Structure 1
Amino acid sequence: MKKHVIFIVGPTAVGKTSLTIELAKALDGEVIYADSMQIYKEMNIGTAKPSKQEQEGIPHYMIDEIFPDEDFSVADFEVRAKQHIQEILSRGKTPIVSGGTGLYVNALLYDMDFGKSVSNPSFRNTLKEESELYGKDYIYQKLQKVDPKAAEKIHPNNLVKVIRALEINYETGENLGDFKEDLQLTSEFQPILIGLNRKRKNLYERINLRVDIMIEEGLVKEVKRLLEKGYSKELKAFKGLGYKEIIRYLNGENTLHDAIRILKKNTRRYAKRQITWFKRYDFIKWFLVDRYEKEEVLLNEVLGYIEKKNKEGIYD
């Protein structure tokens, strides 16, 4: 029987970190973060990275992996995270993947190794040039026309996979959705996927509070320090929430008050997109955190669900 890997997913500020730590303590687990911003060293406040104290001595992986000016792709994440999963399992521990970056979660949940032999660099480069001229949506609309099933599976912002699907269609006349690997859950382990959510009003209040706390803890100073170290404001790392808004403030494009307001708005919108993304998984088990007056009650219900899935070995 394939071994289980627990996934704790959901929108930002919903409470994933707290539950993940408690689960790790209860299940003798180790944590792998699926967060595209927490991989960066020196970027702590704006990424809401758990401190050493918050980690409570539990091994954590895929945080502080690279410096802000280093390249890192979803494929890089997949390779490193899967290696950590196998190492954790080999020690008889429980891997717990926790995070809100949908593409990272997807890379672990599905076997995406398809159509590698199909290649047309010229066609691929043409699409890249068109994306620069007309935008990602223009390329995504092309995919919607020729392969709507693939378009449903791939996020519009994931230009690499959108172009890859178009390349396969162009070269073979087949659709990406026809490649079974693209639709198959991973063969390496059996995931137990748990989603956390809150009532929208409560979630948005937590997001606003988190931003206020980030400012109080020194987010502006953190961004200043990184820029003073010589990191370019054009880096991909600085396109993330919290950094791009503060950089605009430091550039004199708006006031700090406006930067905070915009950051809160952008974070709320991001949370909404995260929820939409994770609702696509038909085997996810959702827990509405607001329903539980005490965290230990939520923890016990989640543990009960995990025990049930361990016994069944199958999905609902």
Structure 2
Amino acid sequence: MSEGRPRLIAIVGPTASGKSALADEVAARLGSSVVSVDSMQVYRGMDIGTAKEPEEFRSVPLLMVDVADVRSDYSVQVFQRDARACVDTLLEDDKVPVLCGGTGLYLDAVIDEMDFPRGTTNGAVRRKYEEMGRQRGAAALWEMLRQRDARSAELIHPNNVRRVERALELLDEGTSYAKEHEGLKRHIPHYATSIFATVRRREELYKRIDARVDAMMAAGLVDEVKALLYQGLRESTTAAQAIGYKEVVEYLDGHCDFEKCVETIKLRSRRYAKRQLSWIRRDGRAQEVDLDAMTVAEAAEFVIDGFKNDGDE
């Protein structure tokens, strides 16, 4: 099913690098749609903090956003099913799906052959780690996993609380997430895909991250979080851990002042960008698109030319 010339384009990159604008331009030129592969844009109402462009300002359709209630834990397995349905519909219409996002696992889940680890669940053990996660937070739970099983921790995003809990549970059962994960062979494509990564100089990227956070706060992120709390944000073990939202909740709960909240969001966003870049380099399939050296229009032309030439060798 995946052999031959690529049928999909994926544009990945660290937060605030400009990948969304590039994906929109590419999709517009191809007369297609963008499929978001972002683990947090799936949630309705999480708009400002996820840099979700308002529908009235979108130049092309954006799929796989606003598909889940903020109280739900929208798993990567469900995302895989729903995103592939979007991709298949576009392909049936003879359109080139343009995937865009910075969540590596979610992109891999769509474009690669991935069957996720399943197993029996020990309710008491699961509840123990769920309670730890609520009391100590996602970062502390992930650090516990890293200390016990660094190999498994490397495979799981710190914000993916459910997966971290499952990995700890597997350790208690005498196995490991990494061992089960060996069956998730990345690089065995489900769809032949041309992948491009937006890159910038570190100083420029960090400047853009800081500016984005300031813009989010000015746009009303605090009020957005207040509304989401009313809708049940705390009930989710995934959405509540999103960068920007978690810190604002801490501010609203009185654990820090506003200035500290903003600085923490900037710091964690920069750290997240570093993890995203590490995933891109480790994955090794992406052609780099230097957005410090190219305009969006030039970059779109580069991507489309690369896509058309892929598979000729």
Higher mean alpha-carbon deviation, 17-26 vs 282-291, is at 282-291
Deviations 1:250-301 (A, max 9, x none): 2222221221111111111111111111111122111221122x32222222
Residue 26 of structure 2 is matched in structure 1 by 23
Deviations 1:121-159 (A, max 9, x none): 45x975885797694444455555xxx6x7765557642
Deviations 1:209-263 (A, max 9, x none): 1111111111112112223x34243533222111111122222222212211111
Aligned residue for 2:292, secondary structure, equals helix
Residue 301 of structure 1 is matched in structure 2 by 302
Aligned residue for 1:306, secondary structure, equals helix
**Counterpart AA for 2:113:** D
Q: Summarize the Cα distance change of 1:304–1:137 in structure 2 as closer, same or farther, 3 Å threshold.
A: same
Higher mean alpha-carbon deviation, 202-211 vs 215-224, is at 215-224
> Where in structure 2 are there 5+ consecutive unaligned residues?
133-139
1:106 aligns with 2:108: yes
Q: Summarize the Cα distance change of 1:308–1:219 in structure 2 as closer, same or farther, 3 Å threshold.
A: same
> Normalising by the residue count of structure 2, what TM-score does the alignment of the two structures yield?
0.83
2-structure distance, mates of 1:42, 1:115: 30
1:14 to 13, 17, 29: 17
1-structure distance, mates of 2:141, 2:115: 27
Deviation at 1:111, TM superposition (A): 1.4
2-structure distance, mates of 1:165, 1:106: 23
> Normalising by the residue count of structure 1, what TM-score does the alignment of the two structures yield?
0.82
Residue 90 of structure 1 is matched in structure 2 by 92
Decide whether the 8 Å contact of 1:46 with 1:243 is kept in 2. yes
1:219 to 206, 218, 221: 221
Deviation at 1:34, TM superposition (A): 0.7
Q: Summarize the Cα distance change of 1:132–1:20 in structure 2 as closer, same or farther, 3 Å threshold.
A: same
Mapping of 1:227-242 within 5 angstroms? 227=229, 229-236=230-237, 237-242=239-244
Identity of aligned residues (%): 32
Q: Summarize the Cα distance change of 1:21–1:233 in structure 2 as closer, same or farther, 3 Å threshold.
A: same
Aligned residue for 1:8, secondary structure, equals strand
**Counterpart AA for 2:55:** K
2-structure distance, mates of 1:160, 1:186: 27
> Where in structure 1 are there 5+ consecutive unaligned residues?
none
Residue 260 of structure 1 is matched in structure 2 by 262
Deviations 1:58-107 (A, max 9, x none): 22211011111122101111010011111110010011110011221121
Superposed CA RMSD in Å reads 3.0
**Counterpart AA for 2:18:** G
- Of structures 1 and 2, the larger Rg is shown by 1
2-structure distance, mates of 1:166, 1:194: 36
Q: Summarize the Cα distance change of 1:67–1:184 in structure 2 as closer, same or farther, 3 Å threshold.
A: closer
**Counterpart AA for 2:234:** K
1-structure distance, mates of 2:18, 2:166: 30
Residue 5 of structure 1 is matched in structure 2 by 8
Relative contact order, CA 8 A, sep 6+: which one is greater?
Answer: 2
Deviation at 1:177, TM superposition (A): 6.8
1:282 to 269, 281, 284: 284
Aligned residue for 1:43, secondary structure, equals coil
Q: Summarize the Cα distance change of 1:85–1:248 in structure 2 as closer, same or farther, 3 Å threshold.
A: same
